[in-house]
């Protein structure tokens, strides 16, 4: 199968190359339908596919977009961002160059150079998780930041609305009747962490629930971290112990499940839990399935691509778009357990510690 060029089609149709180009590309051109038809048939018959390279060189538009990411392509976190970006690109007839830098600044600079040399029509810079970062050098104007925001501004960006997400999570618990609600937080992800905490505080305030500092603990963003944090929370005396826990992410929520099980507690009956991320193949497969706040990865990816390609208006040149994080209700939130209803203090529960005895529920 040898490469067929526009001149081959021209010869076959008995016209010039320019006529072929016009007939095939410009529907508004003053070319009679008969000619157009003949050209089309010739092209079809020969299996003509114009060289994107030559066309790009001539028109200076490549219908190609560069997507630089620190990790999204290679971790299970945010693959859906790629899917969203990819789908939008395809709908616009664009191809995407993907480069995963693994967070290496040298690779990143090389990637920016290489992509610029390819004359991509647009560029997206994506992070694996919501952060504020110094904008890399050399990024073309109009680059869209995905799941991150450049410190200096000057670019458009889209990030999850973590504050509203935190509010939604805590509202689930409040609506179920909980009053002692913990936030199992982390230090690993400052931006999201702070925003969600703000949401947590706002909803508690709204509900007239006093903030209890003992109910705000921090741990690593892993199942093990979550477990450790939960232990601390569940070690509190019964009347100060949380009946519902809002976890920074789903992995930590799994750790809460484990900690609870080890004390003979059952999630839902004895303890309500809300996660964050709606991580694929994790949240839904817990027992009971985890109620969580979804990170709108797909939508963010799509938004970024559509803005980068100019098919969606984005407001100002350096505006940050907040994407809603929807609640995914499954089965880890129920009413608080009855037996810890009010502090009648017949047993001096607040004096006991976990070290003293067995499970005290």
Partner DNA sequence: TTGAAAGCGCTAACAA
Partner DNA sequence: TTGTTAGCGCTTTCAA
Q: Rule CB under 7 A: which residues touch DNA? A: 3, 5-7, 14-19, 21-22, 24-26, 29-32, 35, 48, 50-51, 54-55, 57-60
Residue choice 99, 135, 232, 322 for contact with a copy of itself (CB under 8 A): 99
Closest by CA position to 50, among listed 20, 15, 75: 20
Residue choice 31, 46, 83, 214 for contact with a copy of itself (CB under 8 A): 83
Instruction: Choose the contact partner of 345 out of DNA, a copy of itself, none; CB within 5 to 8 A by kind.
Output: none
Instruction: Choose the contact partner of 153 out of DNA, a copy of itself, none; CB within 5 to 8 A by kind.
Output: none
Residue choice 4, 56, 92, 201 for contact with a copy of itself (CB under 8 A): 56
Residue choice 7, 51, 331, 353 for contact with a copy of itself (CB under 8 A): 51
Q: Report the distance separating Cα 308 and Cα 315, nearest Å.
A: 13
- Shorter beta-carbon distance to a copy of itself: residue 18 or 74: 74
- Pattern 253-292, a copy of itself, x by CB under 8 A: -xx--x--x-----------------xxxx--xxx-----
Restricted to residues 193-222, the positions that interact with a copy of itself (CB under 8 A) are 222
Closest by CA position to 242, among listed 284, 263, 273: 273
3-state secondary structure of 231: helix
Alpha helices, H only, the chain: 6-13, 17-25, 33-46, 52-59, 79-91, 105-117, 162-175, 190-206, 223-234, 250-262, 297-308
Here the tokens at position 33 are 């339908």
Q: Report the distance separating Cα 226 and Cα 342, nearest Å.
A: 27
- Minimum separation from the CB atom of position 76 to a copy of itself (A): 3
Q: Rule CB under 8 A: is residue 353 a binding residue for a copy of itself? A: no
CB atoms within 10 A of CB 300: 25
- Shorter beta-carbon distance to DNA: residue 17 or 207: 17
Instruction: Name the DSSP class of 337.
Output: P
Q: Report the distance separating Cα 136 and Cα 68, nearest Å.
A: 11
Instruction: Name the DSSP class of 52.
Output: H
Q: Report the distance separating Cα 112 and Cα 124, nearest Å.
A: 11
What distances in angstroms separate CA 287 from CA 182, 254, 268, one per listed residue? 21, 10, 10
- Minimum separation from the CB atom of position 37 to DNA (A): 11
Q: Rule CB under 8 A: is residue 80 a binding residue for a copy of itself? A: yes
Closest by CA position to 242, among listed 221, 264, 213: 213
- Shorter beta-carbon distance to a copy of itself: residue 35 or 280: 280
Instruction: Choose the contact partner of 224 out of DNA, a copy of itself, none; CB within 5 to 8 A by kind.
Output: a copy of itself
Q: Which residues bind a copy of itself (CB under 8 A)?
A: 49-54, 56-57, 62, 64, 73-76, 79-80, 82-83, 86, 90, 95-100, 102, 107, 110, 113-119, 222-224, 227, 251, 254-255, 258, 261, 279-282, 285-287
């Amino acid at each position: 199968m040898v490469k067929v060029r526009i001149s081959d089609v021209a010869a076959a149709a008995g016209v010039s190359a320019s006529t072929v180009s016009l007939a095939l590309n410009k529907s508004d051109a003053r070319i009679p339908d008969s000619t157009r038809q003949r050209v089309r048939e010739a092209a079809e018959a020969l299996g003509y596919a114009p060289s994107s390279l030559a066309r790009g060189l001539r028109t200076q538009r490549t219908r190609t977009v560069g997507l630089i990411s620190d990790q999204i392509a290679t971790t299970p976190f945010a693959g859906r961002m790629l899917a969203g970006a990819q789908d939008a690109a395809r709908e616009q007839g664009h191809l995407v160059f993907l480069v995963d830098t693994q967070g290496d600044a040298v690779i990143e600079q090389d990637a920016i150079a290489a992509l610029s040399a390819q004359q991509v029509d647009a560029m997206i810079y994506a992070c694996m998780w919501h952060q504020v970062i110094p904008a890399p050098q050399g990024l073309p104007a109009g680059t869209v930041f995905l799941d991150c925001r450049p410190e200096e501004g000057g670019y458009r960006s889209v990030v999850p609305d973590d504050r509203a997400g935190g509010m939604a999570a805590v509202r689930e618990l409040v609506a179920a009747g909980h009053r002692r609600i913990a936030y199992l937080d982390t230090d690993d992800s400052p931006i999201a962490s702070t925003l969600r905490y703000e949401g947590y505080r706002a909803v508690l305030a709204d509900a007239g629930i006093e903030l209890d500092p003992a109910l705000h603990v921090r741990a690593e963003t892993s199942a093990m971290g979550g477990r450790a944090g939960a232990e601390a929370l569940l070690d509190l005396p019964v009347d100060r112990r949380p009946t519902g826990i809002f976890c920074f992410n789903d992995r930590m929520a799994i750790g809460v499940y484990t900690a609870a099980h080890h004390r003979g507690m059952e999630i839902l009956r004895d303890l309500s839990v809300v996660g964050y991320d709606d991580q694929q193949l994790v949240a839904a497969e817990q027992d009971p399935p985890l109620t969580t706040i979804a990170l709108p990865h797909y939508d963010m990816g799509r938004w970024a691509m559509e803005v980068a390609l100019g098919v969606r208006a984005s407001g100002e040149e350096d505006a940050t778009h907040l994407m809603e994080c929807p609640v995914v209700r499954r089965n880890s939130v129920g009413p608080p357990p009855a037996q810890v209803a009010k502090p009648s203090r017949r047993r001096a529960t607040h004096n006991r510690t976990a070290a003293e005895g067995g499970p005290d529920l």
